[in-house]
Amino acid sequence: MPIDVGRVRPRNVRPWWITVAVMVAVLTGLTVAVDRAWGPLLSADKTVAEWAHDLTYGHGGFVDVLLTVRIAAAPLTLRALLLVIAAALAWGQAWRLSGWLLTVVAVEWLVAPAFKVALDRPRPSWDAPITTVGGFSFPSGHAAGGGMFATAIVLLAVAMLYRSRLRRTLCALGLAVGVAAGLDRIFLGVHYLSDVVAGWLLGTVIVLTGWLVVMRPGAVLPPLAVTDAVGARLSRFAVIVNPVHTGDATAFQASVAAAATRWGWDAPLWYETRADDPGVSMSEQALAAGVQMVLVAGGDGTVRVVCAELARTGVAVGIVPLGTGNLLARNLGLPLHPAEAVETALSGQDRAVDVVAVHGDDLPETCFTVMAGLGLDAAIMAGAPDELKARMGWPAYVVSALRQLRHPATWVEVRVDGGPPVRRKARTVVVGNVGSLQAGIPLLPDALIDDGRLDVVVIAPQHTVGWLRLVLRVLRRTRRTDERLDRMTGRRVSIRAEKPLLRQLDGDPVGEGEELHAQVLAGTLLVRVPR
């Protein structure tokens, strides 16, 4: 799993230190208020404690849950989990991250108990306690461990995972554990609210302070000489950008220039696509200038054109996805945030992937990298206008699909690797170089972008209920095929329809036609991916 601490390494440390300073100030205020027995705080603590005790007492099931949380989110348990993660990081030679985690665990282990002894605050006292615990009350050791655990998990998840459901799940899980560790103590009647808040603050401050020290600018990611797959130093690159998608072009250009300096690249050459040229001449100019990498910033259409020009040249392409679908970036696991994508292109490594040569009647030979479709698939792409995509993003395709559900079926013949034709009355035929659509829908579950093969799916539902069944089969990754959902694989695919149908390449409509012929060009495109 690639670790990119650049995503959470503070380039401007001031806001981070201000955040830590505010937390320290609040923690100090709580400590002084507890030490001086400040009336309003004590009154608030007592009110919350009595409310929580009344809510909990006598509810055996709730108490059992709280006692389970007490064990699962105990400081020793959370420290042990973080130590296991630190060991795993050390095994993966992420020494600085491992050292950071070991240090913050050790500091929290020492500071939280010492804090308690220094304040010497008694725990809440009850005539009918829910449970009994010895020791002092301020700050809560469980809450300190929870704050440390939650903050560390969030930072590690962001550093180790690109934007994804898994990253969001881990962050949410870490935060949930931290919150539960503290609230559990209030409802068990063994800590006051101020104890728990102080514990959360203490654990979080320890982790963030350690992170700022370890990840200070220059400490982790000094400017490096970036090399290609054979170790040759890379320095010259070009940027081909679709100005429709960049938003603040000046800010984008400045961010790319700063990243180039940070990673040891020369100042880039800049080219903008035009309505009459989506990237062909720009790619030719970049190649003529002798660049070693082209950074393309735009939607799937712009990316497809540039990739088609760079295939079989040995010049790598870095992808900054700015479109609606961004299917190539999603299937390669590339970051979707522009700043992260730029960093990956400039600091990453080359990966050889397949492209697909395609032609047809009234369709000159070109290439695609994601999918080509004929029939309903292309109608959906054509039916999602730019205004709708700009307003809704990829759900615009869902809206378009609902409008196209009654798209008529047409007889088609599909021939794979010169074999006998397969005849189907289909709504759509898709030829894929990758497997997943937006939202991770596995339309072609066996498709890989570097396996040297094409995957074909022929979709032929009869009615609305048939559509529902097909959607369920796709989502379940069902391998069974029949005349309603047929899959094939090979190196060459030819499709012929009995009448002209809409066609699309990587989401861009390319006009109507009766034929589509595709052939995989294995390993002919170099794409920049994380190290």
Q: What is the pLDDT of residues 126-145, one digit of tens each?
A: 888 888 888 888 999 999 99
Q: Name residue 269's beta-bridge partners.
A: 238
pLDDT tens track for 315-366: 999 999 988 778 898 888 888 888 889 999 998 889 999 999 999 998 889 9
Q: Region 153-157: what's the mean pLDDT?
A: 88
* Token duo for residue 396: 């615009």
Burial class of residue 36 in the structure, from the number of CB atoms within 10 Å of its CB (0-12 exposed, 13-18 middle, 19+ buried): exposed
Number of helices (H), then strands (E), belonging to the chain: the values are 17, 14
Which amino acid, 307?
C
Phi, psi values for residue 479, rounded to 5°: -85, -15
pLDDT, position 14: 76
pLDDT, position 5: 45
Q: Comparing C-alpha atoms, which of 309, 253, 315 is closest to residue 280?
A: 309
135 dihedral zone (left: phi>0; alpha: psi -120 to 50; beta): left
Q: Please, what is the end-to-end C-alpha distance for the chain in angstroms?
A: 9
Asked whether 41 and 33 are in contact (CB, 8 A), the reply is yes
The CATH classification of domain 363-519, taken from the options 1.10.10.10, 3.30.750.200, 3.30.1440.10, 2.60.200.40: 2.60.200.40
If you ran DSSP here, which 8-state letter would residue 6 be given?
G
pLDDT, position 379: 80
- Range from 103-117, 204-218, 286-300, 303-317 carrying the lowest mean pLDDT: 204-218
pLDDT, position 229: 46
Which amino acid, 83?
L
Please state which architecture CATH assigns to domain 237-347: 3-Layer(aba) Sandwich (3.40)
Q: Comparing C-alpha atoms, which of 41, 62, 59 is closest to residue 193?
A: 41
The Cα 421–Cα 407 span in angstroms is 24
The CA angle 518-519-525, to the nearest 5 degrees, is 115
Helices (H), 126-226: 141-160, 165-187, 193-214
| 320: enclosing H helix or E strand | strand 316-321
- pLDDT-based confidence at residue 223 (cuts at 50, 70, 90): very low
* Token duo for residue 435: 């497997």
CA 162 vs CA 96, 115, 245, 531: distances in Å: 20, 37, 22, 13
Q: What pTM did the predictor assign?
A: 0.56
Q: Region 272-291: what's the mean pLDDT?
A: 92
CATH fold, domain 5-214, is: Vanadium-containing Chloroperoxidase; domain 1 (1.20.144)
pLDDT tens track for 458-506: 887 665 555 666 666 665 566 556 566 788 899 999 999 999 998 989 8
The residue ranges of every structural domain in the chain are: 5-214, 237-347, 363-519
pLDDT, position 170: 87
C-alpha 207: how far from chain center: 24
